[in-house]
């Protein structure tokens, strides 16, 4: 799944390229889009769970500049007992709208937290089945 974002002036730092902290926002936007498209938010709410980021490991490959269009690609990479991983990549799009250069990539480790206990829960049942299907399909 992917979402396109046009780089704006307020994304830039003093060096006139996208500030490293902004990539976390771009990645979050990509995850929210991913959750919306897969209708995860209503599912999490019905199960009284919250998606919690436990770790982000990000590699910066190339600067992005104002007026460039980037594409944030998001997919599920792994599911464990109490945590999972998502892979996100930020690509520069060329004028034809095709991916041109890898700007950044990140591995996001997450857990699902019980709203009442504020503790990570086992990924099981219907939710696990859905996630396993998505993993098999490369989504």
Domain layout of the chain by residue ranges: 2-136
The residue annotated as part of the active site, out of 13, 36, 114, 115, is: 13
Alpha carbon distance 86, 83 (integer Å): 10
CATH architecture assigned to 2-136: Roll (3.10)
**Does the active-site annotation cover 13?**
yes
Alpha carbon distance 29, 47 (integer Å): 23
Q: Which residue has the higher pLDDT, 15 or 139?
A: 15
Q: How confident is the model at residue 7 (pLDDT cuts 50, 70, 90)?
A: very high
Q: How confident is the model at residue 13 (pLDDT cuts 50, 70, 90)?
A: very high
Q: How confident is the model at residue 137 (pLDDT cuts 50, 70, 90)?
A: confident
Q: How confident is the model at residue 80 (pLDDT cuts 50, 70, 90)?
A: very high
Q: Looking at residue 136, what is its pLDDT?
A: 85
The pTM for the full model equals 0.91
């Amino acid at each position: 799944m992917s979402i396109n974002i046009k780089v704006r002036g307020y994304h830039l730092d003093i060096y006139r390229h996208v500030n490293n902290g902004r990539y976390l926002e771009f990645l979050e936007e990509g995850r929210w889009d991913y959750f919306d498209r897969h209708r995860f938010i209503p599912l999490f709410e019905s199960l009284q769970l919250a998606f919690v980021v436990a770790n982000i490991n990000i590699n910066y490959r190339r600067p992005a500049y104002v007026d460039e269009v980037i594409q944030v690609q998001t997919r599920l990479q792994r599911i464990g007992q109490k945590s999972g991983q998502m892979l996100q990549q930020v690509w520069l799009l060329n004028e034809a709208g095709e991916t041109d250069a890898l700007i950044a990539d990140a591995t996001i480790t997450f857990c699902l937290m019980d709203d009442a206990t504020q503790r990570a829960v086992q990924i099981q049942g219907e939710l696990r089945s859905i996630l396993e299907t998505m993993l098999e399909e490369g989504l």
